[in-house]
Amino acid sequence: MFLHLALDGSTPEIRQATQTAVAESTARLPQLTNCVIRDSVNTFISRGPPASKAASSAEDLAKPWNDHARLSALLLSSVSFDVDLDLTIREDLIVELIVIGHHDLVCMF
């Protein structure tokens, strides 16, 4: 659900509220939140770029997916750890996101 709202929320406010909720959840339950977001994004990117819902022509189908920033912002929200969290736990959780963070659908470079 977080992934859907972060990527396809109908307004910028909904997308921002989703990122805020993920960040707050990460501060309270860092390992659980990180796992949920990581698994969601991993499943999403394993399916490849989504087809445009409003694609009505071949030209629309040829347009590349360009929501990299939304996906990377969601990942960034999932590493908004509380300062009291053990450094080793923080490092372990971030390391698990490195490969996902470098996927073509997340990182444009």
| CB atoms near residue 52 (< 10 Å) | 12
Which residue stretches of 1-109 are H helix? 2-8, 12-28, 30-46, 58-62, 68-77, 87-101
Neighbours of 44 (CB within 10 A): 20
Q: Is residue 12 part of a domain?
A: yes
Residue 107 lies in a domain: no
> Which pairs with CB-CB distance under 8 Å and at least 24 residues apart come from 42-47?
42/100, 44/3, 44/71, 44/105, 45/100, 45/103, 45/105, 45/106
Is residue 70 included in any domain, yes or no? Answer: yes
Is there a domain that residue 59 lies in? no
What is the tens place of the pLDDT at every residue in 40-72? 989 888 887 776 555 555 555 555 656 778 888
Write out the residue range of the structural domain in which residue 82 sits: 2-46+64-101
Mean pLDDT value across the chain: 83
Count: domains in the chain: 1
Residue 96 falls inside a structural domain:
yes
pLDDT at position 106 over 80:
no
The reply to whether 55 falls in a domain is no
Predicted confidence band at 5 (pLDDT cuts at 50, 70, 90)? confident
| pTM, 2 dp | 0.77
